[in-house]
Amino acid sequence: MKTGEIVKEIEKLGLAEKLILVEDIWDAIARENSAVPLPEWQKNELDKRQADYNSDRLMLHDWQSVHEELREKFK
């Protein structure tokens, strides 16, 4: 089935059915995630960020304070 045909079929679904479909798609992606290759540069960056996190070299902010700051900034 072509992408356009799939989109037309999706448009026929109700909201609850679309949400279930999205969940099913995410589950399928999660199952296949290990098959997605991770480029070496990306692995290195993730390792660096993990090391920074583990050594407390990062200044972390909770989501609520970030959200409040952004709301104030963009009023």
Is 59 within 8 Å of 66 (Cβ atoms)? no
pLDDT by residue (tens digit) across 13-69?
999 999 999 999 999 988 887 777 889 999 999 999 999 999 988 888 999 999 999
Q: Range of 62's domain?
A: 3-73
Q: What is the reported pLDDT for 33?
A: 75
* Terminal CA-CA length for the chain: 46
For the whole model, what pTM was predicted? Answer: 0.46
Return d(Cα 8, Cα 25) in angstroms, integer: 17
Q: What is the reported pLDDT for 31?
A: 86
59: left (phi over 0), alpha (psi -120 to 50) or beta: beta
Q: What's the domain count of the chain?
A: 1
Residue 74 has pLDDT above 90, yes or no: yes
